Amino acid sequence: MELVILDTAEEIASRAADVIESLLNEKPNAVLGTATGSSPLPLYDELTRRCADGRLSFKDVTGFMLDEYVGLPEGHPERYATFMERNLRSRVDMAPGALHGPDALADDLEQACADYEAQMAAAGYCDLQILGIGVDGHIGFNEPGGPLDSATHVDVLTEQTRSDNARFFDGDIDAVPTHCLTQGLGTIMKARKLVLIATGANKAEAIAHLVEGEITPDWPATVMQNHPDALVLVDHAAASLL
Ligand code: GLP
Protein backbone atom coordinates (compact mmCIF):
# COMPACT_ATOMS: atom_id res chain seq x y z
CA MET A 1 0.00 0.00 0.00
CA GLU A 2 1.35 3.41 -0.93
CA LEU A 3 0.62 6.32 1.44
CA VAL A 4 0.95 9.91 0.21
CA ILE A 5 0.43 12.82 2.62
CA LEU A 6 -0.41 16.10 0.88
CA ASP A 7 -1.15 19.61 2.10
CA THR A 8 -4.60 20.29 0.70
CA ALA A 9 -7.73 18.58 -0.58
CA GLU A 10 -7.02 20.16 -3.98
CA GLU A 11 -3.57 18.53 -4.16
CA ILE A 12 -5.14 15.21 -3.23
CA ALA A 13 -7.77 15.67 -5.93
CA SER A 14 -5.12 16.54 -8.48
CA ARG A 15 -3.01 13.47 -7.61
CA ALA A 16 -6.04 11.17 -7.82
CA ALA A 17 -7.07 12.78 -11.12
CA ASP A 18 -3.56 12.13 -12.49
CA VAL A 19 -3.98 8.43 -11.76
CA ILE A 20 -7.38 8.36 -13.46
CA GLU A 21 -6.09 10.37 -16.42
CA SER A 22 -3.24 7.94 -17.03
CA LEU A 23 -5.63 4.98 -16.77
CA LEU A 24 -8.00 6.54 -19.33
CA ASN A 25 -5.13 7.40 -21.67
CA GLU A 26 -4.07 3.78 -21.58
CA LYS A 27 -7.59 2.32 -21.58
CA PRO A 28 -10.33 4.71 -22.78
CA ASN A 29 -13.03 2.12 -22.06
CA ALA A 30 -11.90 1.52 -18.47
CA VAL A 31 -14.30 0.41 -15.75
CA LEU A 32 -14.31 3.01 -12.99
CA GLY A 33 -15.67 2.49 -9.48
CA THR A 34 -17.11 5.67 -7.98
CA ALA A 35 -17.57 6.74 -4.38
CA THR A 36 -19.95 9.12 -2.68
CA GLY A 37 -19.42 11.26 0.43
CA SER A 38 -17.72 14.64 0.58
CA SER A 39 -14.12 13.37 0.24
CA PRO A 40 -14.20 12.68 -3.54
CA LEU A 41 -16.00 15.95 -4.43
CA PRO A 42 -12.80 17.94 -5.18
CA LEU A 43 -11.71 15.01 -7.37
CA TYR A 44 -14.98 15.12 -9.31
CA ASP A 45 -14.49 18.89 -9.76
CA GLU A 46 -10.98 18.26 -11.09
CA LEU A 47 -12.14 15.49 -13.44
CA THR A 48 -14.86 17.83 -14.73
CA ARG A 49 -12.25 20.54 -15.43
CA ARG A 50 -9.91 18.12 -17.20
CA CYS A 51 -12.78 16.77 -19.28
CA ALA A 52 -13.79 20.33 -20.29
CA ASP A 53 -10.14 21.00 -21.21
CA GLY A 54 -10.10 17.89 -23.42
CA ARG A 55 -7.42 16.20 -21.30
CA LEU A 56 -9.57 13.18 -20.66
CA SER A 57 -12.81 11.66 -21.83
CA PHE A 58 -15.37 9.40 -20.14
CA LYS A 59 -17.12 8.70 -23.45
CA ASP A 60 -16.33 5.00 -23.35
CA VAL A 61 -16.08 4.57 -19.58
CA THR A 62 -18.40 2.28 -17.63
CA GLY A 63 -18.96 3.20 -13.98
CA PHE A 64 -20.04 1.20 -10.97
CA MET A 65 -21.14 2.89 -7.76
CA LEU A 66 -20.02 1.46 -4.44
CA ASP A 67 -23.28 1.60 -2.58
CA GLU A 68 -26.82 2.94 -2.23
CA TYR A 69 -29.20 3.76 0.60
CA VAL A 70 -32.33 1.65 0.99
CA GLY A 71 -35.57 3.60 1.31
CA LEU A 72 -34.86 6.81 -0.58
CA PRO A 73 -37.19 7.37 -3.53
CA GLU A 74 -35.99 8.01 -7.07
CA GLY A 75 -34.74 11.59 -7.42
CA HIS A 76 -34.13 12.10 -3.67
CA PRO A 77 -31.12 14.45 -3.53
CA GLU A 78 -29.21 12.19 -1.13
CA ARG A 79 -29.88 9.01 -3.06
CA TYR A 80 -26.42 8.01 -4.23
CA ALA A 81 -27.58 7.54 -7.82
CA THR A 82 -28.75 11.18 -7.75
CA PHE A 83 -25.52 12.28 -6.05
CA MET A 84 -23.33 10.62 -8.69
CA GLU A 85 -25.46 11.96 -11.55
CA ARG A 86 -25.20 15.48 -10.10
CA ASN A 87 -21.52 15.46 -9.12
CA LEU A 88 -19.93 13.48 -11.93
CA ARG A 89 -21.96 11.74 -14.65
CA SER A 90 -23.84 14.81 -15.92
CA ARG A 91 -20.74 17.03 -15.74
CA VAL A 92 -18.46 14.91 -17.93
CA ASP A 93 -19.00 13.23 -21.28
CA MET A 94 -20.01 9.90 -19.75
CA ALA A 95 -22.93 8.28 -21.56
CA PRO A 96 -26.31 8.41 -19.80
CA GLY A 97 -26.89 4.95 -18.38
CA ALA A 98 -23.16 4.12 -18.23
CA LEU A 99 -22.94 4.60 -14.47
CA HIS A 100 -24.52 1.68 -12.66
CA GLY A 101 -25.54 1.20 -9.06
CA PRO A 102 -27.17 -1.49 -6.96
CA ASP A 103 -30.99 -1.33 -7.22
CA ALA A 104 -32.07 -0.40 -3.72
CA LEU A 105 -35.64 0.14 -4.94
CA ALA A 106 -36.06 -3.54 -5.88
CA ASP A 107 -38.63 -5.66 -4.02
CA ASP A 108 -36.05 -8.40 -3.54
CA LEU A 109 -32.89 -6.73 -2.25
CA GLU A 110 -30.89 -9.98 -1.98
CA GLN A 111 -31.58 -10.63 -5.65
CA ALA A 112 -30.64 -7.01 -6.50
CA CYS A 113 -27.28 -7.57 -4.77
CA ALA A 114 -26.66 -10.82 -6.65
CA ASP A 115 -27.61 -9.12 -9.93
CA TYR A 116 -25.23 -6.22 -9.28
CA GLU A 117 -22.35 -8.55 -8.43
CA ALA A 118 -23.05 -10.51 -11.63
CA GLN A 119 -23.14 -7.29 -13.67
CA MET A 120 -19.78 -6.23 -12.25
CA ALA A 121 -18.32 -9.69 -12.85
CA ALA A 122 -19.52 -9.59 -16.47
CA ALA A 123 -17.76 -6.22 -16.89
CA GLY A 124 -14.56 -7.75 -15.45
CA TYR A 125 -14.84 -5.71 -12.21
CA CYS A 126 -13.24 -2.27 -11.85
CA ASP A 127 -9.92 -1.19 -13.31
CA LEU A 128 -9.82 1.51 -10.65
CA GLN A 129 -11.99 1.99 -7.59
CA ILE A 130 -12.21 5.41 -5.92
CA LEU A 131 -12.82 5.13 -2.16
CA GLY A 132 -13.56 7.34 0.81
CA ILE A 133 -13.49 5.98 4.36
CA GLY A 134 -15.99 6.21 7.20
CA VAL A 135 -15.03 7.39 10.67
CA ASP A 136 -15.62 3.77 11.77
CA GLY A 137 -13.31 2.46 9.04
CA HIS A 138 -15.99 1.43 6.56
CA ILE A 139 -15.30 1.45 2.81
CA GLY A 140 -18.32 1.50 0.55
CA PHE A 141 -20.86 0.85 3.28
CA ASN A 142 -19.10 -2.24 4.69
CA GLU A 143 -19.63 -1.61 8.37
CA PRO A 144 -17.38 -3.18 11.05
CA GLY A 145 -17.82 -6.86 11.81
CA GLY A 146 -18.62 -8.24 8.36
CA PRO A 147 -16.52 -10.81 6.51
CA LEU A 148 -13.47 -9.48 4.67
CA ASP A 149 -14.34 -11.37 1.47
CA SER A 150 -18.01 -10.41 1.12
CA ALA A 151 -19.83 -9.92 -2.18
CA THR A 152 -22.44 -7.18 -2.75
CA HIS A 153 -24.92 -7.39 0.12
CA VAL A 154 -27.47 -5.60 2.31
CA ASP A 155 -25.80 -3.95 5.29
CA VAL A 156 -27.11 -2.19 8.40
CA LEU A 157 -25.70 1.28 9.00
CA THR A 158 -24.07 1.93 12.38
CA GLU A 159 -25.22 4.76 14.63
CA GLN A 160 -21.84 6.37 13.98
CA THR A 161 -22.38 6.36 10.22
CA ARG A 162 -25.97 7.56 10.47
CA SER A 163 -24.94 10.38 12.78
CA ASP A 164 -21.97 11.30 10.50
CA ASN A 165 -24.25 11.37 7.46
CA ALA A 166 -27.10 13.24 9.21
CA ARG A 167 -25.43 16.47 8.03
CA PHE A 168 -26.69 15.65 4.54
CA PHE A 169 -30.25 15.22 5.90
CA ASP A 170 -30.66 18.62 7.61
CA GLY A 171 -28.98 17.21 10.71
CA ASP A 172 -31.86 14.79 11.31
CA ILE A 173 -30.50 11.31 12.10
CA ASP A 174 -34.02 9.86 11.86
CA ALA A 175 -34.10 10.86 8.19
CA VAL A 176 -30.94 8.81 7.47
CA PRO A 177 -31.79 5.34 6.16
CA THR A 178 -30.96 2.39 8.41
CA HIS A 179 -30.02 -0.01 5.60
CA CYS A 180 -27.98 0.08 2.41
CA LEU A 181 -26.75 -2.07 -0.44
CA THR A 182 -23.00 -2.11 -0.84
CA GLN A 183 -20.32 -3.75 -2.90
CA GLY A 184 -18.67 -6.20 -0.51
CA LEU A 185 -15.08 -6.01 0.62
CA GLY A 186 -14.38 -8.94 -1.70
CA THR A 187 -15.96 -7.02 -4.59
CA ILE A 188 -13.88 -3.92 -3.87
CA MET A 189 -10.69 -5.99 -3.60
CA LYS A 190 -11.27 -7.32 -7.13
CA ALA A 191 -10.58 -3.85 -8.56
CA ARG A 192 -7.12 -3.73 -10.17
CA LYS A 193 -6.28 -0.44 -8.42
CA LEU A 194 -7.69 1.22 -5.30
CA VAL A 195 -7.40 4.97 -4.64
CA LEU A 196 -8.61 6.03 -1.19
CA ILE A 197 -9.04 9.69 -0.25
CA ALA A 198 -9.35 10.96 3.33
CA THR A 199 -9.14 14.45 4.78
CA GLY A 200 -9.67 15.87 8.25
CA ALA A 201 -8.88 14.88 11.82
CA ASN A 202 -12.09 12.88 12.21
CA LYS A 203 -10.59 10.30 9.82
CA ALA A 204 -7.25 10.03 11.69
CA GLU A 205 -8.15 6.95 13.77
CA ALA A 206 -9.50 5.07 10.73
CA ILE A 207 -6.38 5.99 8.72
CA ALA A 208 -4.08 4.85 11.54
CA HIS A 209 -5.80 1.45 11.54
CA LEU A 210 -5.80 1.28 7.74
CA VAL A 211 -2.08 1.97 7.47
CA GLU A 212 -0.62 0.55 10.67
CA GLY A 213 -3.25 -1.65 12.30
CA GLU A 214 -3.77 -5.37 12.01
CA ILE A 215 -6.15 -6.61 9.32
CA THR A 216 -9.47 -7.04 11.09
CA PRO A 217 -13.22 -6.93 10.36
CA ASP A 218 -13.41 -4.37 13.19
CA TRP A 219 -11.75 -1.88 10.82
CA PRO A 220 -12.98 -3.02 7.39
CA ALA A 221 -10.63 -0.80 5.35
CA THR A 222 -7.63 -2.72 6.74
CA VAL A 223 -8.36 -5.44 4.16
CA MET A 224 -6.73 -3.05 1.66
CA GLN A 225 -3.34 -4.02 3.13
CA ASN A 226 -3.76 -7.25 1.14
CA HIS A 227 -4.27 -5.39 -2.14
CA PRO A 228 -1.30 -5.35 -4.55
CA ASP A 229 -2.01 -1.82 -5.86
CA ALA A 230 -3.61 0.48 -3.30
CA LEU A 231 -2.91 4.21 -3.06
CA VAL A 232 -3.97 6.15 0.05
CA LEU A 233 -4.08 9.94 -0.32
CA VAL A 234 -4.51 11.91 2.91
CA ASP A 235 -3.95 15.38 4.33
CA HIS A 236 -1.90 16.08 7.45
CA ALA A 237 -4.95 16.05 9.73
CA ALA A 238 -6.04 12.59 8.56
CA ALA A 239 -2.43 11.41 8.97
CA SER A 240 -2.06 12.90 12.45
CA LEU A 241 -2.22 9.60 14.36
CA LEU A 242 0.40 7.85 12.21
C1 GLP B 1 -20.52 7.31 3.14
C2 GLP B 1 -20.19 6.46 1.91
C3 GLP B 1 -18.77 6.02 1.92
C4 GLP B 1 -17.86 7.21 2.21
C5 GLP B 1 -18.20 7.78 3.55
C6 GLP B 1 -17.30 8.94 3.96
O7 GLP B 1 -20.74 6.57 4.27
N8 GLP B 1 -21.02 5.31 1.78
O9 GLP B 1 -18.44 5.43 0.68
O10 GLP B 1 -16.53 6.82 2.16
O11 GLP B 1 -19.52 8.25 3.45
O12 GLP B 1 -17.92 10.16 3.68
P13 GLP B 1 -17.20 11.54 3.72
O14 GLP B 1 -16.22 11.53 2.61
O15 GLP B 1 -18.29 12.54 3.50
O16 GLP B 1 -16.57 11.66 5.05
Domains defined for the chain, CATH in brackets:
2-181+206-235 (3.40.50.1360)
16 in ligand 1 pocket by Cβ < 6 Å?
Answer: no
pLDDT over 90, % of the chain? 100
What's the pLDDT at 62?
Answer: 98
Q: How many Å apart are CA 113 and CA 159, to the nearest integer?
A: 23
What's the pLDDT at 103?
Answer: 98
Write out pLDDT tens, residues 136-150: 999 999 999 999 999
Q: How many Å apart are CA 169 and CA 186, to the nearest integer?
A: 30
Computed over every residue of the chain, the mean pLDDT equals 97
Write out pLDDT tens, residues 164-207: 999 999 999 999 999 999 999 999 999 999 999 999 999 999 99
Q: How many Å apart are CA 242 and CA 27, to the nearest integer?
A: 35
What is the bridge-based pairing of β-strands 193-198 and 128-131?
parallel
Q: How many Å apart are CA 77 and CA 63, to the nearest integer?
A: 20
Average pLDDT estimate for 78-89: 97
User: Would you place residue 42 in the very low, low, confident or very high pLDDT band (cuts 50, 70, 90)?
Assistant: very high
3-state secondary structure of 178: coil
What's the pLDDT at 115?
Answer: 98
Report the residue among 133, 181, 182, 233 best suited for mutation to probe ligand 1: largest number of ligand atoms under 8 A from its CB. 133
Q: Is-contact 222 213, C-beta < 8 A?
A: yes
Q: How far does the centroid of ligand 1 lie from the alpha carbon of residue 44, in Å?
A: 14
What's the pLDDT at 118?
Answer: 98
User: Would you place residue 87 in the very low, low, confident or very high pLDDT band (cuts 50, 70, 90)?
Assistant: very high
102 in ligand 1 pocket by Cβ < 6 Å?
Answer: no
Q: Which atom of ligand 1 is nearest to the CA of 39?
A: 14
Q: How many Å apart are CA 33 and CA 61, to the nearest integer?
A: 10
Q: Which atom of ligand 1 is nearest to the CA of 180?
A: 8
Residue 141 CB coordination number (10 Å):
26
83 in ligand 1 pocket by Cβ < 6 Å?
Answer: no
